[in-house]
């Protein structure tokens, strides 16, 4: 399983018992310094542009495979390859691409053979790009609003989504667009590199383009017209986009001869569709419908596998990467760890004179979060506290940076804004629990429709840095109320490389059922997955009365949020 992410490319190999036997990575800024990227990208702040050189990814792949080759792993034993990649980025192949991909010379490295000739654009717009404000407004307006676009494609417009990005590319760089034979996502680009020909889009990652009609399972012609600028132009665009592979386990073909001769791969090593990093993450464990993964990194993502295609402009729906009839719901927050760390730092600096505290210690923060009464109410009739902490402008909800605190009347359930001088709030002590509750309530409010009918998850799996923190896990357990509890999956930052390695294995080994369909990914994984060695229960989850009490706060929470956007 490969993971082509923003700052690095990783590879993870699992054996027949699903055990990781090799993990290797190449960090762009460090290992391919000649490209002079910062955190894997170039930025042009005047236009809110964020982009990456495609050649760097290819060069990094050369470096990675060479590094892996030095290990004790014999590439001839690798049966199947899959991957996951940063979502939404697009790669523009030239008319020379197919010829170059299919005639790679094993005596030479990849980059010198493909770059620059195989590409009509040497750069790929990155998911952090915000340059498509105009295109988003136009697309959403012409299609009939955010709700409608979300219903069709799983999401409202977002600056990073590929449709608006292609729209800008067509307008800005008409010559390069003209010279483009095919457009890939970063995911299908990665599959193409292994396959030695341009691969189709992945069934899940294609949903991050704002152009794929998920319920109909085809490109939306109306959107293609808006993006390309006309009826004939839409036909051209559709050709450049190519096909979408509906089966996430499809054998796209065998690995290109180049890798057999240069690195010793077996001739019959399978290449399967490469998906997005978020869909790849939900494959890191046998996630059942109504199970959720909360990724507590720099940003926070909430991922859920659900049979309900319930859309909303507040979140994203994607087709499931392996299982037809299931969907991946996703919430993507900008303010995760950074916001929590701000409160931690304020607490640490206030208390450091009493006893020395390391600035990055969570001890004091946890102490306040764990001993504060839930919602800040000591007794039944007391007002409850609600806080919003966005050091960066937030996506969910779409509001400017700031901190807001409210008191919610116990009788009327109405939130009242408190200004900084209010004596109803001890800053920063009360913020410790309030920020955790606020992050949990925001997920609960939005994930409710995805967790039909009860609005309650079965299990919550936590991954990423914040998953080590006991107070965070307890609060998520109390607010989200998973019936089976909160579990930590300890895979460092490698969950999506692991998920894609599992997908490669499933694609190779899945059995045909008596009814002619393939064994489902979840069933395949559940049989082989050793739960006790992979996850740890970190909170009991649902507590009778507690979850219901937090439920009463959802309405004032939502009202307070509308106040923030005024």
Specify burial of residue 435 (Cβ count, 10 A radius: 0-12, 13-18, 19+).
buried
| Candidates 145-153, 273-281, 284-292, 542-550; binding stretch for ligand XUL (CB under 6 A) | 273-281
Q: Which of residues 180-209 bind ligand XUL (CB under 6 A)?
A: 208
Q: Scanning residues 42 to 71, which ones bind ligand XUL (CB under 6 A)?
A: none
Query: What tokens appear for 61 in the block?
Result: 């792949």
By C-alpha distance, which of 236, 328, 327 is closest to 278? 328
CB of 7 to ligand XUL, least distance (A): 9
Residues forming a β-bridge with 293: 303, 461
> Least distance to ligand XUL from the beta carbon of 382, Å?
39
CB of 496 to ligand XUL, least distance (A): 9
Burial 347-376 (b: 16+ CB within 10 A, else e): bbeebeeeeebeeeebebbbebbeebebbb
Touching ligand XUL, residues 103-132 (CB under 6 A): 127
- Which of 6/23 has CB closer to ligand XUL? 6
Residue 300: enclosing H or E segment and its boundaries? strand 300-306
87 touching ligand XUL, by CB under 6 A: yes
Maximum CA extent, the chain = 77
Residue 88 found at the interface with ligand XUL (CB under 6 A): yes
Tokens of 396: 């969910």
Least separation, in Å, of the C-beta of 230 and ligand XUL?
Answer: 29
Q: Pick between residue 292 and residue 332 the one whose CB is nearest to ligand XUL.
A: 332
Q: Residue written as tokens 């055990």?
A: 19
Stretch that binds ligand XUL, among 274-282, 338-346, 499-507, 537-545 (CB under 6 A): 274-282
Bridge partner list, 389? 403
Helices (H), 70-156: 97-102, 110-114, 133-143, 146-153
| Burial (0-12, 13-18, 19+ Cβ within 10 Å), 273 | buried
Positions 307 through 336 that interact with ligand XUL (CB under 6 A): 332
Least separation in angstroms between CB 2 and ligand XUL:
14
What is the Cα–Cα distance from 508 to 23, expressed in whole angstroms?
Answer: 20
Nearer to ligand XUL, 40 or 541 (CB): 40
Nearest approach, Cβ of 208 to ligand XUL (angstroms)? 6
Letters for 206-245 (x = contact with ligand XUL by CB under 6 A, - = none) are --x-------------------------------------
Closest CA to 431 of 408, 394, 406: 406
Assess 86 for contact with ligand XUL (CB under 6 A).
yes
Cβ pair 320, 279 in contact under 8 A: yes
Q: Which is nearer to ligand XUL, 220 or 278 (CB)?
A: 278
CA distances from 368 to 365, 372, 434, 435, 542 (A): 5, 6, 10, 12, 22
Q: Which stretch binds ligand XUL (CB under 6 A): 246-254, 272-280, 284-292, 417-425?
A: 272-280
- Least distance to ligand XUL from the beta carbon of 155, Å? 8
Nearest approach in angstroms of CB 546 to ligand XUL is 31
The number of residues that bind ligand XUL (CB under 6 A) is 12
Smaller CB distance to ligand XUL: residue 164 or 276?
Answer: 276
Q: Which of 6, 49, 90, 124 binds ligand XUL (CB under 6 A)?
A: 6
CB of 107 to ligand XUL, least distance (A): 34
Q: How far is the CB of 443 from ligand XUL (least distance, A)?
A: 16
In terms of Cα–Cα distance, which of 105, 99, 103 is closest to 118? Answer: 99
Residue 60, phi then psi, degrees to nearest 5: -65, -35
- DSSP-derived letter for residue 230 is S
Q: Residues 144 to 173: which contact ligand XUL by CB under 6 A?
A: 160
Distance of alpha carbon 416 from alpha carbon 291, whole angstroms: 34
Which residue, 109 or 135, has its beta carbon nearer to ligand XUL? Answer: 135
Residues that bind ligand XUL (CB under 6 A): 5-6, 86-88, 127, 160, 208, 276-278, 332
């Amino acid at each position: 399983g490969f993971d082509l992410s923003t700052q690095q490319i990783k590879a993870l190999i699992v054996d027949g018992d699903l055990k990781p036997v090799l993990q290797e990575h190449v960090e762009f800024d460090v290992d391919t310094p000649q490209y002079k990227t910062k955190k894997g990208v170039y930025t042009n702040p005047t236009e809110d542009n964020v982009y990456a050189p495609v050649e760097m990814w290819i060069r990094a792949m050369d470096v990675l495979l060479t590094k892996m080759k030095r290990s004790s792993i014999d590439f001839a034993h690798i049966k199947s390859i899959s991957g996951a990649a940063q979502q939404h980025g697009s790669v523009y192949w030239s008319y020379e691409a197919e010829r170059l991909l299919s005639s790679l010379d094993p005596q030479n490295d990849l980059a010198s053979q493909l770059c620059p000739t195989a590409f009509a654009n040497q750069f790929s717009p990155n998911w952090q790009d915000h340059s498509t404000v105009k295109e988003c407004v136009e697309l959403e307006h012409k299609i009939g609003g955010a709700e409608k676009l979300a219903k069709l494609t799983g999401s409202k417009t977002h600056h990073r989504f590929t449709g608006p990005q292609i729209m800008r590319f067509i307008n800005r760089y008409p010559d390069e667009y003209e010279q483009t034979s095919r457009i890939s996502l970063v995911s299908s680009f990665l599959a193409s590199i292994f396959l030695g020909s341009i691969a189709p889009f992945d069934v899940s990652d294609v949903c991050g383009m704002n152009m794929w009609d998920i319920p109909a399972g085809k490109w939306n012609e109306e959107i293609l017209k808006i993006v390309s600028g006309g009826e004939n132009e839409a036909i051209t665009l559709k050709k450049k986009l190519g096909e979408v592979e509906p089966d996430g386990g499809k054998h796209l073909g065998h690995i290109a001869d180049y890798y057999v001769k240069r690195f010793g791969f077996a001739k019959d090593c399978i290449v399967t569709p490469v998906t997005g990093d978020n869909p790849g993450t939900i494959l890191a464990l046998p996630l059942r419908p109504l199970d959720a993964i909360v990724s507590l990194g720099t940003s926070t993502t909430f991922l859920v596998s659900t049979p309900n295609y319930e859309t909303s402009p507040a979140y994203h729906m994607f087709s499931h990467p392996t299982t037809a009839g299931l969907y991946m719901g996703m919430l993507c927050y900008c303010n995760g760890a950074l916001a929590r760390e701000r409160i931690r730092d304020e607490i640490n600096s206030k208390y450091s004179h009493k006893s020395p505290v390391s600035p990055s210690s969570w001890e004091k923060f946890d102490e306040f979060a764990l001993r504060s009464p839930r919602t800040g109410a000591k007794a039944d009739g007391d007002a409850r506290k609600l806080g919003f902490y966005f050091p960066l402008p937030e996506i969910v909800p779409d509001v400017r940076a700031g901190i807001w605190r409210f008191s919610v009347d116990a009788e009327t359930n109405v939130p009242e804004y408190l200004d900084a001088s209010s004596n109803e709030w001890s800053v920063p002590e009360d913020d410790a629990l309030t920020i955790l509750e606020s992050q949990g309530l925001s997920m609960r409010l939005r994930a409710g429709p995805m967790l039909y009918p009860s609005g309650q998850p079965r299990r919550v799996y936590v991954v990423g840095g914040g998953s080590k923190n006991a107070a965070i896990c307890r609060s998520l357990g109390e607010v989200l109320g998973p019936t089976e509890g909160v579990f930590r999956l300890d895979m460092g930052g490698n969950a999506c490389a692991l998920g894609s390695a599992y997908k490669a294995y499933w694609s190779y080994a899945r059995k045909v059922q008596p009814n002619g369909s393939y064994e489902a990914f979840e069933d395949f994984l559940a049989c082989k997955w050793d739960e006790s060695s992979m996850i740890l229960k970190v909170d009991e989850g649902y507590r009778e009365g507690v979850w219901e009490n937090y439920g009463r706060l959802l309405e004032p929470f939502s009202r307070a949020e509308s106040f923030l956007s005024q």
